[in-house]
Structures are given as C-alpha cells and as structure tokens.
Amino acid sequence: MTMQPRPVIAEIVPESAPFSVEQRTWLNGFFAGVLSIDGSGVKPLSAAEAAALLPGGPAAVPAYPPEDGDDGAPWHDQTMPIAERMQLAEGRPLPRRMMAAMGQQDCGQCGYNCEDYSDAIFLRKEERLNLCVPGGKETARMLKKLYEEIGTTPTAPKASASAASLDSPVASSTVALATVAAIAAPGRSRDHPAEATFLSRTRLNKPGSAKETWHVEFDLAGNGLDYNVGDTFGIFPTNDPALVDAVIARLEAPADFPIAGRTLRDVLLDGVSLGLAPDMLFQLISYITGGERRQKAKALSSGEDPDGDAATLDVLAALEKFPGVRPDPEAFIEALDPLLPRLYSISSSPKTHAGRVALTVDAVRYAVGKRKRLGVASTFFAERVAPGAKVRSYVQKSQNFALPSDPAIPIIMIGPGTGIAPFRAFLQERMAIKAPGRNWLFFGHQRSQYDFFYEDELTAMKAAGVLTRLTLAWSRDGEQKIYVQDRMREVGRDLWSWIADGAHLYVCGDGKHMAKDVERALIDIVAVFGVRSTNEAVAFVTELKKSGRYQQDVY
Ligand SMILES: Cc1cc2nc3c(=O)[nH]c(=O)nc-3n(C[C@H](O)[C@H](O)[C@H](O)COP(=O)(O)OP(=O)(O)OC[C@H]3O[C@@H](n4cnc5c(N)ncnc54)[C@H](O)[C@@H]3O)c2cc1C
Ligand SMILES: NC(=O)c1ccc[n+]([C@@H]2O[C@H](COP(=O)([O-])OP(=O)(O)OC[C@H]3O[C@@H](n4cnc5c(N)ncnc54)[C@H](OP(=O)(O)O)[C@@H]3O)[C@@H](O)[C@H]2O)c1
C-alpha cells in the first residue's frame, strides 16, 4: 500500500506567536479552511501580526513577560545607547539580549516589533540579521555576535502570558479571522504593500530657510487603505538613478547584467541599499584583493576603522576606496543589505482628508568630501517621484501613539520640526469630532520667518478655539537658542496644572536629543510645581509612560 502524503496545512500563525501548540494548530487549520488556502502560496504571519489576533489586539500582549525579570524590558527605550541597553540585558536569556541589541522603536520597518524580531532570529526562523533600520550596523554586528551563542544556551523565548487568555480559540475566531483578513489585505503590513498614488509635494519652508521640508500627499483611492491618526505610513522608495549609474560604472559591469530575472540596474534601483556599506561588502572585497588592502577590507568587515572613515563609507565610497576591485555583480548584490521601506508619521486625519494621506518630510542632504549624499526616501519625495506615480506603501498601525479615547481629556503635544506631523493629524481629528478636550501644542524650529510649518492652519485653529494654546520656540531667531523644552520650563506651572487635570502628553521628532531633553524638562517641572523630590518626579513620569499618558513617536 502506498502512503498518501499528508495534506499540508499552511502555517499562518507562526510558532513564535503567543499561542499554545493546540491553539496554533487549531488556528492554522481554521484559517486554512476558511480562507481556502493550502501550504503552497501563503506567507506566514509575523509573530506581531499573529499577536494582533489576540482579543484586544497587540496591546493585549504584554511588552515583556514579567517572569523574565520583574522590571520587564528596561532596555526598551529608543533614546538609550546600545552599550547601555546591552548592559541592562546582561544575564538575561539570549533572545532578550538580542532584543536589547535592536533599535527599540517597534517601528515595524523590519517587519516585526523588536521582541518578535529577536524571537524569530533565536528560533532560526529569520536569518537576516540586518533588518533593523534604527539600529543600523551596530545592531547587525551585535546580533551577529549573539547569533553565535544560539545552541550554547538552553533558553527559549517564553510564551506570552496572555496566550492563556485565549482559552477558547473558537470564542475568538470572529475577531481573529477579521484581523487575519485585514493583515493579509494589501497595504496592511510591510509584507503586503498596496499602491498609493503620489499626488503632490509642497515646500513648507519659505525661501531663505536652511531646511527643506515637504508636505506630501498621497491618494488612497482604489487601494482600500485607511488609517487612524497616530499611524505611520510606510513607503518603498527607489535609489537615486545617478548613484546607481555611478555604482555600475565602478563595477565596470553592464547595466543589463542579468540577476534573478532582472537587470543589475533594476536591482540596484529598488532592491538593495546603497547607504552605509555593510560588513559583507568589505568581506567580499577582502576575498578578491590582496596584501594591505585585504587587511584593510578585513578590518572594516569586522567593525574596525583603520582609516577613521568607516562612518562615511556608503556602497559607492567603499568601491572607490578599493579602486580596481571589481566584484562579480551577483556576489556584489548578494553582499548588500536589502532596501527597506521608510516610515513617516501621518500628518492628516482621515476625517478631514477622506481617501488621502499627508506626510511631513524633511529632505536629508549632506556632503562628504566633494560628493553630495541624498537620503533615499526623503529625496525620492522631494525630487524624484512624479505626481500620478504609484508607490508601494502600507499603513503601520500605531502601537502606542493615539489620542485618548475620551475626547474630553486635555492633550499636550510637543513636536519641533517634522515632529509636528502627527499633531496636525490629532488637531484635525479633535476638530472633526468636536472634542471638548483642550489642546496645547509646543512647536519649534529654526526661524519664525521661514520655518513656521502650517502657520495658517494653526492660526485658524487657534482662532476657532480648537488649539487652546500654541507655544513656539525659534532656535535661530536670536542670539541664544530657544528650544521647546525651554518654553516648557517657562510655563511649567500651567503645564503642571494641565497634567494635574489629567492631560495626556505626546512627544514627536528627534529621538537622539530632543526627546531626552523634553523628558528632563518634564521631570523638573513635575519636581518643582508638583512639589516632589527628583526621584519622585522620575517615578511620576515613568508612571505617566506606563499608564499611556506620556507617549512618544521619535526617530
Ligand atoms: C516611526 C517613524 C516615524 C518617522 N516620521 C518621520 C516624519 O514624519 N518625517 C520625517 O522627515 N522623517 C520621519 N522619520 C524618519 C524617516 O523614516 C527616514 O528615516 C528619514 O526620512 C530618512 O530616510 P532617507 O531614506 O531619506 O535617508 P537614508 O537614506 O536612510 O539616509 C539617512 C542616513 O544618512 C546619514 N546621514 C544623514 N544626515 C547626515 C549628515 N548630516 N552627515 C552624515 N550622515 C548623515 C545617517 O547615517 C542617516 O541614518 C520617521 C521614522 C520613524 C521610524
Ligand atoms: N534618519 C534621518 O536621517 C533623519 C531624517 C529626518 C530627520 N531626522 C532627524 O529627525 C529629527 C527631526 O528633524 P527635523 O528636520 O524635523 O528638525 P530638527 O532637526 O529636529 O529641528 C527642529 C528644531 O529642533 C531644534 N533642536 C535641536 N536640538 C534640539 C534639542 N536637543 N532639543 C529640542 N530642540 C532641538 C532645532 O534647532 P537647531 O537646529 O537650531 O539646533 C530646530 O529648531 C532631527 O534629529 C533629524 O536629524 C533624521
């Protein structure tokens, strides 16, 4: 008797998802049956997507199982340097140390949140260690090091405590099915982008500004996409064709060299990152060169910086550093990182911009030596994409950045520069729903004359009483720099009184300096006007964060 092969049930819900084996098996079978899919053509959900199946969505999954340490994941702070994060994770199970190596933004650019990405790597379900955009090379290197420990440690990621809350998969099946269908739909996740139509770009700075920031709009008509304020918009950009051509010229390869059914030029345009040269590229160069140059390439591939220029070596500069080295185009492409999507805070409310989404984008341009360098996505918006063009995109649902559900709660928004983006959306939303809660915006930028984004709109909202207070900080108007946190300190008493009234606080924009400085100012305000010791003020602000009253969208 010949054995019939067992029917393959699509693995839709991954093993790393927080379900028991029985729950997962049942859910896989259920979805395979209802969605009429088999094991051949379905991409498994990421653990984050699967977690969204839980009643209550991703928020129902605690950020970290408490049994791993009663302080949860103390490194989960996007403003903390990697060395500090790794120190805090010392002695923790390997997947947690892997998590600490990541950018801590839960931004989804890698297709996961930080915890799920680390679990997927630990479980060897994800081989790519170079997907963390905010963490960049530092994260990739640390992950490589930690990856070598797999198998030498008995620890496995623990199932989330909340899996137990899904006692009966049947009871939750309606919610779960709706969520799976939503995630698998185009535009609902990085892995299933939809096409949005680029409509327009409008410069937000007046002529004379040192900045170049664009208000960008997309049409979502026909792609079924919708969003909420607080969500971010992910887009797949293309590289600058002039840079692509310069790389091809360095390789001395034909632009139409075939690579996996495409041409070398096409793959360079939209498939791989031409940003900071990855370690793998230097490794490849070390294989095909000799002597001192080999040593140098080898050193660069292991994170050393023999000439003090490592931080400036993008892919083209790396090729230029080793003139005459001509890697095989296929091996070259293999050595590069994938070109990842970029995220932008949505700066419109669907209630006032039905079928459209707006973004506020700062164009990244800088020079290294004589060569001008361009941020890929921001200059794609600023100069390369033409109105009418279709752009692969998706809506990244906000995990922890949303208006209070009670519209009467006052809100304080702190967003210098492009940080204003989600607050324009918040204000439009509160205006549209006639929310009775007070709204206070702190905005700042370089010069009042040139960089007052959305001035007319904000002025009108203030006149209409929607924007209760608008506090402005111009850093380059006078002799001394005035930042938003300076203004916060000046009005500390009022700020404290809003907090005492239950206000929710929001910070958006630069995560490297501004967000930390704003938090410091807030702690000082709580200490002075809330009459607390510094330690008590720190604990108070920590509690605000834990209870969702202090939310950040920083990058
Ligand atoms: C959740 C989230 C929300 C965001 N929202 C917004 C938003 O609303 N608006 C917005 O503009 N951006 C936003 N960003 C940032 C955005 O995603 C991109 O990172 C940004 O636009 C740069 O992307 P790029 O492709 O243009 O630049 P890239 O090609 O990624 O180049 C950026 C890199 O260039 C290098 N670099 C930049 N400037 C210099 C310099 N002066 N000297 C040397 N090297 C330099 C750095 O290595 C930097 O990482 C957000 C990010 C996240 C994660
Ligand atoms: N990944 C990327 O490549 C990328 C792309 C876009 C933006 N960003 C970063 O994201 C952030 C937002 O950029 P942006 O164009 O919106 O504006 P920005 O550079 O953050 O500037 C906005 C305002 O904030 C001020 N500022 C500078 N340091 C501050 C601090 N420590 N605390 C409070 N305010 C401070 C600036 O003043 P001064 O300039 O006068 O000091 C300016 O007035 C920046 O950090 C930027 O570098 C990164």
Whole-number Å distance, alpha carbon 361 to ligand 2 midpoint, is 12
- The ligand with the least distance to the CA atom of 212 is 2
CB neighbourhood size of 291 (10 A): 7
Residue 59 has which token pair?
Answer: 């928020």
- The ligand with the least distance to the CA atom of 476 is 2
DSSP state of 382: I
Beta bridge partners of 198: 218
Mutating to test ligand 1, I would choose from 235, 364, 451 the residue with most ligand atoms within 8 A of its C-beta, which is: 364
Residue nearest to atom 44 of ligand 2 (CA): 510
Q: What is the pLDDT of residue 35?
A: 45
Residue nearest to atom 4 of ligand 1 (CA): 344
Q: 488-516 burial, b if ≥16 CB within 10 A, otherwise e?
A: bbebbebbbebbeeebbbbbbbbbeebbb
Measured distance CA(190)–CA(54) in Å, rounded: 20
Mutating to test ligand 2, I would choose from 362, 453, 480, 488 the residue with most ligand atoms within 8 A of its C-beta, which is: 362
101 Cβ contact partners less than 8 Å away, ≥ 6 residues apart: 82, 85, 86, 118, 132, 135, 138, 139, 142, 143, 146
Whole-number Å distance, alpha carbon 509 to ligand 2 midpoint, is 7
How far out from the chain centre does Cα 85 lie?
18
Whole-number Å distance, alpha carbon 344 to ligand 1 midpoint, is 10
In single-letter form, the type of residue at position 223 comes to N
Q: What is the pLDDT of residue 191?
A: 84
Measured distance CA(299)–CA(333) in Å, rounded: 21
Secondary structure class of 529 (helix, strand, coil): helix
- pTM (two decimals): 0.83
What's the 3-state SS for 164-217?
A: HHCCCHHHHHHHHHHHHHHHHCCCCECCECEEEEEEEEEECCCCCCCCCEEEEE
- C-alpha separations of 95 from 20, 101, 150, 379, 394 in Å: 19, 10, 9, 36, 28
In single-letter form, the type of residue at position 44 comes to P
- The ligand with the least distance to the CA atom of 136 is 1
Measured distance CA(506)–CA(442) in Å, rounded: 10
- Among 120, 75, 113, 129, CA closest to 97: 75
In single-letter form, the type of residue at position 269 comes to L
Beta bridge partners of 474: 445
Within 6 A (CB) of ligand 1 lie 105, 107, 232, 275, 342-345, 360-362, 364, 366, 375-378, 418, 421, 553, 555
Q: What is the pLDDT of residue 34?
A: 41
Residue 389 has which token pair?
Answer: 């063009």
Q: What is the pLDDT of residue 17?
A: 54
> Phi/psi class of residue 465: alpha, beta or left (left: φ > 0; alpha: ψ in -120 to 50)?
left
- Among 137, 165, 160, CA closest to 62: 160
- The ligand with the least distance to the CA atom of 276 is 1
Q: What is the pLDDT of residue 107?
A: 81
Ligand 1, atom nearest to 342 Cα: 17
Q: What is the pLDDT of residue 106?
A: 84
Measured distance CA(444)–CA(544) in Å, rounded: 24
Q: What is the pLDDT of residue 270?
A: 97
Measured distance CA(36)–CA(46) in Å, rounded: 20
Q: What is the pLDDT of residue 152?
A: 77
- Among 405, 410, 403, 473, CA closest to 439: 410
The stretches in the chain having pLDDT less than 50 are: 1-10, 30, 33-70, 158-173, 175-176
